[in-house]
Amino acid sequence: MRLSEILKYNDIVIQCHDNPDADALASGFVLHTFLTAHGKSPEFIYRGINPIQKSNLVIMVDELGIPVSYEPDYDRRPDLLITVDCQIGQRNVTFTDSKLVAVIDHHQVTVELPRLSEVRSNIGSCATVMWDLMREEGFDVNENKNLATALYYGLYCDTNKFSEMSHPLDRDMIDNLTINKSLITKMSNSNISLEELKITGKAILDFEYHEDYRYLVIKTEPCDPNILGVISDFAMETAEVDVCIAYYASPDEIKFSVRSCSKEVHANELAEFIARGIGGGGGHLLKAGGTIRPEMITASPIEVIEGRITEYYQQYQVIYAKDTILDTSDFGMYTKKEQKLGVIKLTDVFPVTTPVEIRTLEGDINVNIADDMYLMIGIEGEIYPITAEKLANSYQATGFDFQGHFEYEPSIRNLATDEIKRVMPYAKTVISPSGSSRIYAKVLDHNVKLFTAWDDDKYYSGGPGDYIAVREDDPHDIYVISGRLFDDLYRSTSKGITFL
């Protein structure tokens, strides 16, 4: 959806979820300002049984001048109701009647969405979604420092001070906003109340330690979600603890933070696993978080969380490729098919020695541009640096431009000048010829975590339907190939005869 589509309506009400948080307030604030700038007179409301009380949010509303009003008994029926940071029909949104509904959100979809909706579930905050929608309309939020500060603080609060953030668009927004830093400091130093400080202390006394897998579960009373991060960060200092989950369950939502210092457990993977199908979760290898929708579960929150954790630990076979020789007697033999990939010569983009930051869906890569440095665009759009020598050994140039579709199009920023360039206009197609080297491969019927012979720190996950493979000429070169891609990448061979 584009925001210009809603400009044909006149009687517009923006509603955020009950007990609004900074993200909900920021999103509604920016949308309200946009609509007002286009000659509309929208209302921005929230409902439910409690008015805003938290000190940081009171400061936010007052100092940024957020025109939000608390309307517990709202009975007007507007032409268009736009819910922000929530989806109408969810438990934490008091129902407001309207002729038409639109939704702008970043949570998992749990209701049937109206035609006018923009829900991006893998983004850190609704503020980021709103920022991107504004950008599409050419509306510069930096012209009003209050808007920029609100958006920044929305993301800051929703991602536990940016620590549980994973999407590059979130980082783009942070880099782009011109904010009032002292106000951010003031708000983040009024984040919890004395009562919540007590909640924090009590929660820690009441941990549950699971010796078998060395993980800790801490339950708090409903509180500011950031407290969960504070508690789990602190608990991770404990010698016996490798993984910590802190959570609270309120009638509206179950929130949790995950921390891991175990190389066999990626926090983002565990968070995603805990919330799979019943909410959403994500973050980084070490820090992550998530939400479970109470209406999606039948057992108690603790049963669900501990059940999922146990399931997670039990279902993985961990393979250290370095020390493993697979029995390949029931594996098939395959060779690589011809692949068309993209390549970018970095000196085409910026001059040699320029320090740059390459932003991709998988993370930021910081390098100084060298003469022999290229970027590859893989089959799934993944981006990685490659040297001229390696490129020449494995690929043939075609001279053709490369086209690709990305969830997030990679860009390169010159760190010296802050100039940002898209990479796709520089991308050329290369071909990797069908391979002569052969692999053994077999479809997996269980989950594995594979530490390759090259990387001791980070594992690759595979599940039923994916393939485990090993090079014929190197029994320790074991890897996992996505089941979705396998047929595009490999063809079966047998005794030198190729079957197509």
Rounded distance between C-alpha atoms, residue 47 and residue 71, angstroms: 5
Characterise 258 by phi-psi region: left (phi > 0), alpha (psi -120 to 50), beta (else).
beta
361 touches 381 (CB < 8 A): yes
Contacts of 205 (CB under 8 A, 6+ apart): none
Stretch that binds Mn ion, among 121-129, 130-138, 390-398, 463-471 (CB under 5 A): 121-129
- Tell me whether residue 151 or residue 358 sits nearer to Mn ion (CB atom): 151
254 touches 247 (CB < 8 A): yes
How many Cβ atoms from other residues are within 10 Å of residue 85's Cβ? 30
Tokens of 388: 């001229």
Nearest to 266 by CA among 75, 58, 450, 421: 450
Tokens of 16: 């955020």
Tokens of 164: 């549980």
Stretch that binds Mn ion, among 123-131, 135-143, 169-177, 283-291 (CB under 5 A): 123-131
What's the half-sphere exposure (Cβ side, CA atoms, 13 Å) at 407?
A: 13
- Tell me whether residue 91 or residue 210 sits nearer to Mn ion (CB atom): 91
CA dist list (Å): 108 to 91, 125, 330, 415: 14, 12, 40, 35
- Tell me whether residue 271 or residue 444 sits nearer to Mn ion (CB atom): 271
Least distance to Mn ion from the beta carbon of 126, Å?
5
Tell me if 272 contacts Mn ion by CB under 5 A. no
Q: How many helices (H) and strands (E) does the chain have?
A: 13, 30
Q: Which of 18, 23, 272, 466 binds Mn ion (CB under 5 A)?
A: 23
Sign of CA dihedral 134, 138, 144, 145: positive
- Tell me whether residue 23 or residue 252 sits nearer to Mn ion (CB atom): 23
- Tell me whether residue 25 or residue 480 sits nearer to Mn ion (CB atom): 25
Q: Which of 43, 85, 196, 253 binds Mn ion (CB under 5 A)?
A: 85
Which position's Cβ is nearest Mn ion? 23
Which positions from 330 through 389 interact with Mn ion, judged by CB under 5 A? none
Tokens of 52: 């805003």
- Tell me whether residue 107 or residue 428 sits nearer to Mn ion (CB atom): 107
If you compute the radius of gyration of the chain from its CA atoms, what whole number of angstroms results?
Answer: 25
Least distance to Mn ion from the beta carbon of 124, Å?
8
Least distance to Mn ion from the beta carbon of 409, Å?
24
Give the interface size with Mn ion as a residue count (CB under 5 A): 4
- Tell me whether residue 106 or residue 428 sits nearer to Mn ion (CB atom): 106
Least distance to Mn ion from the beta carbon of 85, Å?
4
Least distance to Mn ion from the beta carbon of 101, Å?
18
Nearest to 130 by CA among 45, 24, 272: 24
Which positions from 124 through 163 interact with Mn ion, judged by CB under 5 A? 126, 158
Least distance to Mn ion from the beta carbon of 350, Å?
36
Least distance to Mn ion from the beta carbon of 229, Å?
15
- Residue with tokens 């609100």, as numbered in its chain: 150
Which positions from 282 through 341 interact with Mn ion, judged by CB under 5 A? none
Stretch that binds Mn ion, among 18-26, 230-238, 411-419, 454-462 (CB under 5 A): 18-26
Least distance to Mn ion from the beta carbon of 158, Å?
4
Stretch that binds Mn ion, among 51-59, 84-92, 286-294, 429-437 (CB under 5 A): 84-92
172 touches 418 (CB < 8 A): no
Least distance to Mn ion from the beta carbon of 125, Å?
5
Tokens of 200: 């924090």
- Tell me whether residue 85 or residue 306 sits nearer to Mn ion (CB atom): 85
- Tell me whether residue 159 or residue 452 sits nearer to Mn ion (CB atom): 159
Nearest to 258 by CA among 239, 271, 241: 271
Residues at the interface with Mn ion (CB under 5 A): 23, 85, 126, 158
